[in-house]
Amino acid sequence: MKFYNQQHKFYCGIDLHARKMYVCILDQKGRTKVHQNIDTDPKTFFELIFPYIQNVVVAVECVFCWYWLADLCAEHKIPFVLGHALYMKAIHGGKTKNDKIDSYKIAALLRGGNLPMAYPYPAKMRATRDLLRRRMHLVNKRAELLAHIQNTNTQYNMEEIGKNLGKKCHRRDIAQRFDDPATQLAVQTDIELINFYDQLLPKIEAYIERCAQQHDPNALYRLRTMPGIGYILALSILYEVGDITRFQTVQDFCSYARLIRPKKESDGKWAGTSNKKIGNHHLKHAINEAAMLFLRRSEMGQTYRLRLEKQHDKGKSYGIFTHKIGRAVYFMLKNNKPFNAKKFFGS
């Protein structure tokens, strides 16, 4: 957990929503200068903060609608702090809660150097990262449709389809396997939606590849030297990581990617685990996918994983291997070096 502890003359805390925002500005002595509920209009906000613009810092909780406020502050060179939503919830929880109280607490945490920070992702890469996330959502929906066809076949205790339904030529006569017209219509609906996704996804991927030219092509090449990481998966990892230098250690990176199980201790005793969902689940998914594809394509990887399974159970061996993949990704990006199989399996 990192805190913002720089000193300013004024501290602005904002409880931000889609249509309204409660703004609270405190001075160095904690006196309230502004405490007002306004519309989420850039012009209105700028007029409100203008008398303090020379030495003010703006903080907002990491909610879905913070992009425009970060861009506005960057345009006028106002320091902007993005508060970590889960950490802030633990720190400023109280019996009574409303927008006015929340905005004051954000400003007070900022003034006291106790505001936990999240990473404000750079604006120039933000839209492409969101498009990559949207593509992943659509790919998952397509997979759900394919699974529904298989489940329907199992539901009626029919023979296995025995074909890869991911290929269009294998989906043509699938609906006719079923006798009931309603079941046929349900399966045919799944097939038509899958065909639509098959037309849409290549367009999205082509656009992402064109936009990705602004990213470091050498970093893309280095990631693709690891077995199992293709072009789209390498892009997903790069855009979720952003600036690798923001992680001081490899453990910080693995914690952000949810590859480490957090532990709780009290009085030197183990008190369970918690906060498993703090981190980037998109990056975790990408690294897990890379680990599974690595095992498919590398005999050395399969041998190494089986060796881990003899020491631990099967599930834990996969977790250890995925953690090792995450560490390798970090050092490849940090040291600007391609994948080295000898170092990876040497330990």
Domain ranges of the chain: 3-116, 125-214, 217-346
Angstrom CA distances, 316 to 239, 281, 296, 319, 347, stand at 28, 19, 18, 5, 18
The pLDDT of residue 220 is 85
The pLDDT of residue 272 is 67
Q: What is the mean pLDDT of residues 195-200?
A: 95
Judged against a pLDDT cut of 70, whether residue 213 lies above it is answered with no
| Segment (H or E) for 78 | none
* 324-343 confidence digits (pLDDT tens): 999 999 999 999 999 998 88
Judged against a pLDDT cut of 60, whether residue 300 lies above it is answered with yes
CA pair distance 230, 209, nearest whole angstrom: 12
Highest mean pLDDT: which of 19-28, 235-244, 256-265? 19-28
Torsion of CA 185, 186, 190, 192, to 10 degrees: 20
Mean pLDDT score of the chain, rounded to an integer?
90
Percent of the residues in the chain that have a pLDDT greater than 90, as a whole number: 65
Q: What is the mean pLDDT of residues 209-222?
A: 78
Identify whether the C-beta of residue 170 lies closer than 8 Å to the C-beta of residue 153.
no
Classify 311 as helix, strand or coil. helix
Judged against a pLDDT cut of 90, whether residue 289 lies above it is answered with yes
Highest mean pLDDT: which of 29-43, 114-128, 212-226? 29-43
Position 172 confidence tier, pLDDT thresholds 50, 70, 90: confident
The class level of CATH for 3-116 reads alpha beta
The pLDDT of residue 44 is 95
Judged against a pLDDT cut of 80, whether residue 1 lies above it is answered with no
Angstrom CA distances, 211 to 128, 231, 237, stand at 7, 13, 15
The pLDDT of residue 324 is 94
Q: What is the mean pLDDT of residues 38-66?
A: 94
Judged against a pLDDT cut of 80, whether residue 165 lies above it is answered with yes
Judged against a pLDDT cut of 80, whether residue 223 lies above it is answered with yes
The pLDDT of residue 321 is 93
Torsion of CA 287, 222, 140, 277, to 10 degrees: 30
Position 266 confidence tier, pLDDT thresholds 50, 70, 90: confident
Q: What is the mean pLDDT of residues 69-85?
A: 94
